[in-house]
Structure 1
């Protein structure tokens, strides 16, 4: 198997290289940051990439950003993320980022070499490997929609149908200004910041659609003849 590693800690990077070489794999590149990872994947087209979540320059979520960038280039790009922290949101975003193999493992739980190598094989074959602790976090995670009022859910459901603010106001029998206020509150509650309004609208709708899949009643709320 041909593998690219992105890990800023030299000891961990060299340790992974030695482990993988001993297992008969070929590390075609070992880099320290997300930009170099993208270049290495474009150059070498590896069977799987192993990357850390926190890398230079800010040591925040560069690894997650790089993973998403790889999935934009190739939705089936096999990726194994190694993290020191449990991030249910990062894992959930990765799981929904494409169709190919994906893995999210905690560094301090990767103690069994055979299990680690088996996880790599699974990911390279298109499967998913998620750390059990991360799975528990995902199951406990509150929906972002829990903070929305019933009326805000109605507005978001109509946004998901592609309706304009004016069309939403007509459906709910309210003013355009009332709809705009609801939408601004929705953006705030979903943690959507200062990006372009159109982009925030798309992200809000995607959040709604993902949650809708888990509701027992898949139908959006009824919106006819309701007063604000």
Structure 2
């Protein structure tokens, strides 16, 4: 019986120290690092030459250290939709999270670099993104919520529903939400249904309502 394939990852990070550290961390956590580059152009060339399963990219890279990594990630999302993307940022920048989720929302994540220090959570988030899920940094979600709670229809949500939506935005499953809030799966399902109703997200065969709810959350 063949061993399961290791998820293939390309790392894009201009800090040599962090780039090498990420490479070692991912290799030790069951990933195969196929390339490690230092700017957005190199990242796009590496993906074009040998598309990986996942890209891990810093938002700010040379030459301007503004949003080169994010722009490269958006190109990858458009041209290689099967490649999952997890972007890392030094600071909370809500617009970047919204930009990433504005198109296809399968296999995308946005985390602060500090989260890498929590190796278990970081690796879990990377596997989740690689499997087609989402991973949003709790701090990003918290700041977005602080800004958006003033607007409707989010204002119609109960405090518990807001907690559930916050955890949904982080990419947690119903079971994960239940564990975090110390409630039953059934209670979470009831809150999720309430959120869908208040955000006017009716059931539909082609709609991923969890993602749509998070997008509504990001839009405020």
TM-score normalised per structure 2? 0.63
1:75 and 1:99 in contact (8 A); partners too? no
The answer for the alignment partner of 1:78 in structure 2 is: 84
User: SS state of the match for residue 58, structure 1?
Assistant: coil
Measured at CA, do residues 24 and 75 of structure 1 come closer, stay the same or move farther in structure 2, by a change above 3 Å? closer
Task: Specify the structure having the higher radius of gyration (Cα).
Answer: 1
Secondary structure at the counterpart of residue 110 of structure 1: helix
Q: CA deviation at 1:92?
A: 0.9
2:17 corresponds to which of 3, 11, 20: 11
Which residue in 2 is equivalent to 1:20?
Answer: 26
How do 1:53-132 residues align onto structure 2 when only pairs under 5 Å count? 53-132=59-138
How do 1:175-190 and structure 2 match up within 5 A? none
* 1:97 Cα deviation from its structure 2 partner: 2.5
Would you identify which runs of 4 or more consecutive aligned residues in structure 1 move more than 4 Å? none
| Distance in 2 between residues matched to 1:105 and 1:30, nearest whole Å | 19
Question: Shift of residue 142 of structure 1?
Answer: 5.6
* Structure 1, gaps ≥5 residues long: 146-209, 215-228
Q: Please give the secondary structure, in 2, of the residue aligned with 1:29.
A: strand
Aligned to 1:206: none
Q: Could you list the per-position Cα deviations for residues 58-84 of structure 1 after superposition, in whole angstroms to 9, with x for gaps in the alignment?
A: 000111111111112133431010110
Aligned-partner Cα distance in 1 for 2:147–2:83: 27
Looking at structure 1, the residues matched to 101 and 79 of structure 2 have their Cα atoms a distance apart, in angstroms, of 16
Deviation at residue 112 of structure 1 after TM alignment = 1.4
For these two proteins, the number of residue pairs brought into alignment is 149
- Unmatched tracts of structure 2, length 5 or more: 1-6, 152-215
Q: Does 1:50 align with 2:53?
A: no
**Alignment partners' CA distance in 2, 1:55 and 1:35:** 10
Report deviation, 1:110: 2.5
